[in-house]
Amino acid sequence: MDARSLALSVLAATLDGESLDTAFAAGDRRAKLEPRDRAFAHLLVLTGLRRLGQIEDAIGRCVEKPNQLPARERNILRLGAAQLLFLGTAPHAAVNSAVNGTRDARLKGLVNAVLRRLSREGAAIVAAQDSARLNTPDWLWRQLVAEVGEARARAVAEVHLHEPPLDLSVAGNAADWAVQLGAVVLPTGSLRLISHGAVDGLPGFAEGAWWVQDAAAALPARLLLHALPGAQGALVADLCAAPGGKTAQLAAAGARVSAVDRDDTRLARVGENLRRLRLPATLIAADARQWQAPHLFDAVLLDAPCTATGTIRRNPDVPWHKDAKSALDLAPVQEALLAAAARMLRPGGVLVYCVCSLDPREGRERAEAFLAAHPAFQRLPIAYDEVANLDVVSAEGDLRTYPYHLAEQAGMDGFFAARFKRLA
């Protein structure tokens, strides 16, 4: 299997509903490519997904009814178009590989003709396209415009088109590691690398000096720690803990952390990372909704399952897997997890609820519903100085980041977090 065959396999699996991470993991095991070829396959798929709306529009100018093509040939055209329109691949290489991969002999001529036309006319087609609108599904576009207006919806969509930088959380002095890594220190305290090699080859990886964590994803744990009288020795539960970045933050601050996650495989990876970081935590494989905690906690952090629309720049398959109803399907899970988290907390304790979603039904509305159902809790509003005076605090006092925040430094994930206190 070569790089383009791997890309074709992963794109097909992803558009059929499999997560991008799962599809890549399975494909990588089968292909066993050299790092350079593997990187090209990944770039090809990510570009195909990030620019899928533009690609579909371009192909639609060349084929009368592209949705009636067999799935394999349609995906071959998508990947061929991605190479010609956005990756600068030599036309002969993109066209020949696509034609050779077409199994239906009757369609080889069509694939050849479409891609040759795009090699000639593609630049003009792309220049005339509305990229932000085309690459955002209708359901998500309507949701964004309703929430933040069209101008900011466009700003979100534009960030989604670009490869995100690498953000790191550091257990020690961030400034010291910034020098060694050639990184910048963001206002929030995270390190950011715009360009880098393999993560496990970077300075500090083997020493366990840092871990990968988007700047926005690092904020909820910091907000929890800000509200604790003292983190050293505090009993903290991290629910739905994988991939473990928040567990590491809490443990690095001296808290005694119980990290709970229902996925054994993902929890095992949390353990591996904590060992590299030399940080302690108790790992518990359980569904937090049913888990019987052995004691009450001083604080609970719940990063609930959600539609993940705040992470589209990292996971460009998300908008093509979800729809307007997806958040409704997850609401009962989020509600049950919040109720369980509330039961685990001692009087006077702090609860932080967060989701990597842009949908207000998973964020603001979920927080309001929790307060209405739990009179023993009150909101602990977030102060601007807790978030480096960035404009990411809502009128209610909750955290609300969008991908266009920190735009000058290449943006950040979309996150919502609300902080509550259990009354004595």
Q: List active site positions.
A: 356
C-alpha to C-alpha distances, 126 to 88, 115, 122, 297, nearest whole angstrom = 13, 14, 6, 55
Strand partners, 259: 238, 283
Strand partners, 393: 399
Q: β-strand 191-193 against 235-239: which pairing, if any?
A: unpaired
Long-range contacts of 179-186 (CB under 8 A, 24+ apart): 180/204, 184/409, 186/215, 186/388, 186/406, 186/409
Distance CA 391, CA 1 (A): 48
Give the 3-state secondary structure of 367-409.
HHHHHHHCCCEEECCCCHHHHCCCCCECCCCCEEECCCCCHHH
Nearest to 111 by CA among 71, 60, 74: 74
How is residue 354 written in tokens? Answer: 């967060």
Distance from the first to the final alpha carbon of the chain? 62
SS3 239: strand
Distance CA 286, CA 65 (A): 48
Distance CA 217, CA 191 (A): 13
- Sequence-distant (≥ 6) Cβ neighbours of residue 248 within 8 angstroms: 169, 171, 211, 213, 273, 274, 277, 279
Q: Which residues of 153-186 are buried (b: 16+ CB within 10 A; e: fewer)?
A: bbbbbbbbbeebbbbbbbbeebeebbeebebeeb
Length of the chain measured in residues: 424
CB 226 within 8 A of CB 234: no
Distance CA 8, CA 27 (A): 10
